[in-house]
């Protein structure tokens, strides 16, 4: 690994959790304005490079420590001016730490004590202030128009040797001054002061991304509640209680909650709590049980500090089914209190709001969620009418509409056309998400869904706004973070995409296969090849029958210089893929128009060309001498019926084309209407199923069937046909 000496600037927002709890939308808008108008221009002015970026923090690298210190002073002075006239409760203020030190470089990331010291110094800085190390002071003194106040040697957590520290004096009248360290106190005072510094650091926190710092927020995993009712058919109810508790706790801005996908890996699997805590990176674990007998429920739950083994809270609830929502609210509040958290008024209102007053609708909703969780086609198909029934029983059931939209957009993204064709799936997802937000504007998941769909439509700014709104409403929800990463990836904002994905991985170490593929794609485009390979290899191992991930993995192997591995991944991917999607360069070119920056798409396509990905689906090839010209295609296709067979498996198919190009295509798995036209020497299909984009390809005369036969190929099909009418 490469090592280098570099200047590191670490910054975070003072009281970020409080600000978000009191006014999420306003805080997010003010913070975005600060970044856009003040922070980012200052970093660019002094030649900094952003390494990590999150809602409440940043890590920036500079080639010159003088530039780093100068940039820090400029940001704080300009922020002080910007905050004039703003009430204290609404002010955005930063703490900044600067260090000059040795770092380890891994792809686009940096690690080591050089980074850790900058983070520790940032935690020591006053709100609106800057704290720098002695090494930074030695180079910057008399070269920046600020003064310096020595803080003496500081013992920093997890740093072996004491570090000299200095506070910047930002008042212009103090420029050039250097004040000495205060008189060294006695040993007892030093111990007390050291404890105070550590306590302050623990309370203040450092960065939300925490890659190089000690976690400052409590983190909790809610293990799947055991079903003690004796009826396996009631598993869905126990799972629903677990998921509702996870959802409620994620509404607390001061708490990190491990996502459902990771905790449900422990369902029906006995595991030591210390092992769970280590694997999931949490300190606190909630476990419990549910017994449902007719209309009565008994719920037991406890909160455990895995570091000490102490039981921090436990309670038993005996209620009728009508009181189930009250139990969930009470349980969430008591857990928050045991963790030392005080929900804001907005957070309390959200947790107290019952999802529905109709218990039958709630039951259908829980059954739909259990069916959808399987991710398999049968479960997804089963879930949709269950959601419909829940929505029919309670047309104001916002969470049912939101979950319906999430499931439908998954069907759409995975192209499960045998469950629902792309166009109606897209329409249903939009309608359900929009209805959910009409009913409850504070739900996060519908905004995430809208963001994903908007970025596909190349409405990048709308998509970013939707995804950021989702994260603001659900900062502890891994799905919203992945959606933000997905949107920022296609919008060309690589640092923001990677930051969101890192947060999602922290909240959900066992991301679902499709979300881990998104993470791998983000890291690939960002240039973090080893991280991309790690994520995609994990996906391949978790979903060995799925070929799409291997294609993306092949691109990462190429970028890492592992061409033999890339070619092997292509071969494995193509052999396990049954439908067109990522199996050809033509499909990737068509889907690549989603990228705002064409270079991002070109990077992937160039890598896969080197890996040997074929141009057309199912590795179709033909003799170029047999390709028809545009006029020949017009005469052959327009106004005629084409009947034949589709690859793979040669399933029967028919394409009926009117003289005006209006057409209908039918096979055993597809039924869609479209427009057919000729562009140059290519035949094009255009329908809502391809996001409204023309899917064009050549037509060849077949020389292997005795005459009269043709083959049409584009990114989505290989169609061997004859003209029958």
Residue 227 and residue 169 share a domain: no
Distance CA 376, CA 545 (A): 12
Q: Is residue 91 part of a domain?
A: yes
Structure-block tokens of residue 90: 């609404």
Per the structure, the count of domains in the chain is 5
Structural contact between residues 485 and 501, judged by C-beta atoms closer than 8 angstroms = yes
- How far does the chain reach from its first CA to its final CA, in angstroms? 66
Q: Is residue 457 part of a domain?
A: no
- Would you state the pLDDT for residue 183? 40
Maximum Cα interatomic distance, the chain, rounded to a whole number of Å: 100
Distance CA 24, CA 251 (A): 12
Residue 87 and residue 117 share a domain: yes
Residue 434 and residue 390 share a domain: yes
- Would you state the pLDDT for residue 24? 77
Structure-block tokens of residue 568: 């092997």
For 346-358, what is the mean pLDDT? 80
Residue 634 and residue 609 share a domain: no
Residue 168 and residue 33 share a domain: yes
For 271-291, what is the mean pLDDT? 85
Range with the poorest average pLDDT among 177-186, 386-395, 656-665: 177-186
Structural contact between residues 422 and 379, judged by C-beta atoms closer than 8 angstroms = no
Residue 346 and residue 363 share a domain: no
Distance CA 583, CA 598 (A): 20
pLDDT surpasses 70 at 187: no
- Would you state the pLDDT for residue 254? 79
pLDDT surpasses 80 at 540: no
Structure-block tokens of residue 414: 């995975």
Residue 267 and residue 225 share a domain: yes
Structural contact between residues 225 and 244, judged by C-beta atoms closer than 8 angstroms = no
Residue 717 and residue 654 share a domain: yes
Structure-block tokens of residue 346: 């907005």
Q: Mention every residue, 6+ apart, whose C-beta is less than 8 A from residue 56.
A: 12, 13, 16, 31, 207, 208
Q: Is residue 209 part of a domain?
A: no
Of 436 and 203, the one with more pLDDT: 436
- Would you state the pLDDT for residue 193? 34
Segment of 52-66, 528-542, 622-636 carrying the highest mean pLDDT: 622-636
For 410-433, what is the mean pLDDT? 84
Q: Is residue 459 part of a domain?
A: no
Structural contact between residues 133 and 100, judged by C-beta atoms closer than 8 angstroms = yes
Half-sphere exposure of 713 (CA within 13 A, CB side): 24
pLDDT tens sequence across 457-496: 889 999 999 999 999 888 778 889 999 999 999 999 999 9
Cα 242 versus chain centre, distance = 22
Domain final residue pick, 567, 594, 614: 614
Helical packing angle, 563-575 and 598-611, nearest 10°: 90
- Would you state the pLDDT for residue 392? 95
For 248-261, what is the mean pLDDT? 83
Confidence tier at 582 by pLDDT (50, 70, 90): low
Segment of 110-114, 314-318, 656-660 carrying the highest mean pLDDT: 656-660
Confidence tier at 121 by pLDDT (50, 70, 90): very high
Confidence tier at 652 by pLDDT (50, 70, 90): very high
Q: Is residue 329 part of a domain?
A: yes
Domain final residue pick, 614, 640, 666: 614
- Would you state the pLDDT for residue 543? 63
Structural contact between residues 219 and 255, judged by C-beta atoms closer than 8 angstroms = yes
Domain hosting residue 543, numbered range? 518-614
Residue 264 and residue 403 share a domain: no
Question: What is the DSSP secondary structure assignment for residue 12, as one 8-state letter?
Answer: E
Cα 7 versus chain centre, distance = 29
Q: Is residue 680 part of a domain?
A: yes
Alpha helices, H only, 543-597: 548-559, 563-575, 585-591
- Degrees, nearest 5: CA angle 542-412-435: 120
Distance CA 190, CA 207 (A): 27
pLDDT tens sequence across 143-186: 888 999 888 878 777 677 788 899 999 988 888 887 765 444 33
Nearest to 297 by CA among 364, 370, 234: 234
Confidence tier at 109 by pLDDT (50, 70, 90): confident
Tell me the pLDDT of the chain averaged across its residues.
84
Report how far apart, in Å, the C-alpha atoms of 612 and of each of 5, 112, 494, 686 are: 40, 39, 27, 28
Structural contact between residues 674 and 663, judged by C-beta atoms closer than 8 angstroms = yes
The dihedral through the CA atoms of 446, 450, 451, 452 has a sign that is positive
What CATH number has the domain bearing residue 331? 3.40.50.10070
Structure-block tokens of residue 6: 């570099």
Residue 377 and residue 330 share a domain: no
Which residue has tokens 């209006």? 662
- Would you state the pLDDT for residue 114? 86
Q: Is residue 80 part of a domain?
A: yes
Number of other CB atoms surrounding residue 278 within 10 Å: 11
Give me the phi and psi of 576, to 5 degrees please.
Answer: -105, 5
What CATH number has the domain bearing residue 525? 1.25.40.10
For 707-718, what is the mean pLDDT? 87
pLDDT tens sequence across 555-566: 999 999 999 999
Question: Given its phi and psi angles, is residue 680 left (phi above 0), alpha (psi -120 to 50 degrees) or beta?
Answer: left
pLDDT surpasses 90 at 370: no
Nearest to 95 by CA among 66, 72, 115, 71: 72
Residue 623 and residue 605 share a domain: no
Nearest to 438 by CA among 378, 486, 380, 397: 397
Structure-block tokens of residue 695: 């899917």
pLDDT surpasses 50 at 234: yes
Of 553 and 203, the one with more pLDDT: 553
Nearest to 715 by CA among 611, 645, 615: 615
Q: Is residue 551 part of a domain?
A: yes
Residue 346 and residue 260 share a domain: yes
Domain final residue pick, 572, 592, 614: 614
Distance CA 466, CA 224 (A): 31
Whole-prediction pTM: 0.62
Range with the poorest average pLDDT among 58-72, 195-209, 398-412: 195-209
Helix, strand, coil percentages, rounded to 5, for the chain: 50, 20, 30
What CATH number has the domain bearing residue 158? 3.30.70.1230
Of 57 and 60, the one with more pLDDT: 60
Strand pairing category for 219-222 and 256-257 = parallel
- Would you state the pLDDT for residue 647? 87
């Amino acid at each position: 690994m490469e090592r280098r000496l570099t200047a590191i600037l670490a910054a975070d927002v003072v009281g970020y959790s409080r600000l978000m709890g009191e006014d999420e939308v306003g805080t997010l808008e003010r913070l975005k304005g600060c970044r856009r108008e003040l922070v980012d221009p200052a970093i660019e002015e002094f030649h900094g490079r952003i390494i990590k970026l999150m809602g409440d923090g940043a890590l920036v690298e500079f080639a010159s420590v003088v530039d780093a210190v100068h940039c820090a002073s400029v940001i704080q002075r300009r922020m002080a001016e910007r905050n004039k006239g703003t009430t204290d409760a609404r002010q955005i203020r930063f703490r900044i730490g600067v260090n000059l030190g040795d770092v380890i470089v891994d792809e686009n990331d940096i690690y080591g004590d050089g980074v850790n010291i900058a983070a520790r110094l940032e935690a020591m800085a006053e709100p609106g202030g800057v704290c720098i190390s002695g090494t930074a002071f030695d180079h910057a003194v008399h070269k920046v128009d600020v003064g310096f106040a020595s803080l003496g040697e500081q013992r920093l957590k997890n740093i072996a040797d004491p570090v000299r520290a200095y506070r910047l004096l930002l008042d212009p009248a103090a420029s050039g001054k250097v004040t000495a360290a205060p008189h060294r106190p006695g040993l007892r005072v030093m111990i007390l002061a050291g404890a105070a510094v550590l306590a302050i650091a623990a309370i203040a926190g450092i960065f939300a991304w925490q890659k190089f710092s000690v976690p400052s927020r409590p983190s909790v995993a809610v293990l799947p509640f055991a079903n003690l009712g004796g009826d396996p058919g009631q598993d869905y109810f126990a799972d629903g209680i677990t998921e509702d508790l996870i959802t409620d706790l994620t509404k607390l801005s001061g708490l990190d909650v491990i996502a459902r996908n990771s905790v449900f890996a422990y369902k029906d699997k006995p595991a030591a709590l210390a092992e769970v805590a280590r694997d999931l990176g949490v300190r606190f674990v909630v476990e419990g049980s549910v017994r449902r007998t007719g209309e009565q429920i008994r719920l037991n739950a406890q909160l455990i500090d895995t570091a000490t083994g102490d039981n921090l809270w436990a309670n038993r609830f005996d209620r009728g089914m009508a009181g189930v929502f009250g139990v969930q609210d009470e349980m969430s509040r008591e857990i928050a209190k045991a963790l030392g958290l005080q929900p804001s008024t907005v957070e309390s209102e959200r947790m107290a709001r019952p999802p529905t007053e109709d218990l039958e609708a709630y039951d259908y909703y829980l059954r739909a969620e259990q069916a959808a969780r399987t991710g398999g086609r049968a479960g997804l198909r089963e879930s949709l009418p269950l959601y419909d029934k829940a929505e029919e029983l309670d047309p104001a059931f916002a969470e049912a509409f939101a979950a319906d939209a999430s499931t439908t957009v998954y069907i759409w993204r995975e192209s499960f056309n045998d469950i629902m064709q792309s166009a109606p799936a897209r329409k249903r997802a939009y309608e359900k998400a929009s209805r959910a937000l009409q009913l409850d504007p504070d739900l996060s998941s519908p905004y995430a869904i809208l963001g994903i769909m908007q970025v596909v439509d190349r409405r990048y700014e709308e998509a970013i706004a939707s995804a950021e709104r989702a994260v603001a409403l659900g900062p502890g929800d891994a799905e919203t973070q992945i959606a933000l990463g997905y949107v920022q990836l296609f919008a060309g904002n690589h640092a923001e995409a990677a930051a969101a994905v890192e947060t999602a991985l922290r909240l959900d170490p066992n991301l679902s296969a499709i979300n881990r593929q998104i993470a791998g794609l983000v890291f690939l485009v960002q240039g973090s090849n080893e991280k991309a390979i790690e994520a995609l290899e994990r996906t391949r191992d978790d979903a060995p029958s799925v070929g799409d991930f291997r294609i993306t993995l092949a691109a990462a192997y190429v970028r890492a210089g592992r061409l033999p591995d890339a070619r092997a991944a292509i071969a494995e991917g193509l052999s396990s893929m049954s439908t067109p999607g990522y199996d050809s360069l033509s499909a990737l070119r068509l889907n690549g128009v989603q990228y705002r920056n064409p270079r991002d798409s070109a990077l992937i396509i160039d890598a896969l060309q080197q890996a040997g990905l074929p141009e057309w689906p199912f590795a179709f090839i033909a003799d170029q001498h047999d390709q028809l010209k545009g006029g020949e295609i017009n005469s052959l296709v327009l106004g005629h019926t084409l009947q034949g067979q589709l690859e793979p498996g040669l399933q029967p198919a028919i394409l009926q084309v009117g003289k005006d190009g209006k057409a209908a295509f039918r096979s055993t798995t597809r039924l869609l209407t479209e427009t057919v036209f000729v562009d140059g020497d290519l035949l094009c299909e255009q329908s809502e199923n391809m996001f409204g984009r023309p899917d064009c390809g050549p037509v060849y005369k077949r020389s292997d069937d005795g005459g009269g036969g043709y083959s049409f190929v584009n990114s989505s099909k290989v169609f061997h046909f004859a003209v029958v009418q």
